[in-house]
Amino acid sequence: MTAPPQDEQYEPLGDFASLQRKETAPPTGFERNEWAALTEGFTNEQDEILAILVQRGSGGSRKGRPTNYRAPFTGALSATLRAVAQRNCKATQGDEDRMLTLASDSDRSAKSSLMKKLRANGRAHDKNYVARAVEEMEEKRFRECKSEEWL
């Protein structure tokens, strides 16, 4: 990979204000209308960058939630003994227990989605086929180091 050209217009991490309205003339060998068709009608770098940002959905100041953002529940929590015990248990879990819980949940989810797929195909009534499919799925998850058994 070659380094980008180092000229007065190119600033790798320069501020956005430095790109203000630098008019670009068509390069030699191109007519203005031909160059406009190639550059999709943008006459300067700032307009092109702003259009790309708007297309990506990050042109405004209001952005969506970051990826993997977990907002805490703000509603009223149940005060039953079981609910309180579950919350306390989850709060005091160590990293190892948390990983085992996540792997167990993932195994259960994978089995559930497999059964859903088998029901959609009409094969859920064949017990031998279901047992074989579940065993194959468990072996695959073990080989991919995703199962609770592997942990």
For 87-142, the pLDDT digits (tens) are: 888 888 888 888 888 888 888 899 999 999 988 888 888 889 999 999 999 999 88
Reported confidence tier of residue 13, pLDDT bands at 50, 70, 90: very low
Cα–Cα distance measured from residue 136 to residue 139, given in angstroms and rounded to the nearest whole number: 5
> Please, what is the Cα angle at 136 between 108 and 106, to 5 degrees?
20
Distance of CA 101 to the CA centre of its chain: 22
Q: Which residue has the higher pLDDT, 143 or 65?
A: 143
Cα–Cα distance measured from residue 12 to residue 83, given in angstroms and rounded to the nearest whole number: 53
What is the model's pTM?
Answer: 0.42
Cβ(124)–Cβ(130) below 8 Å: yes
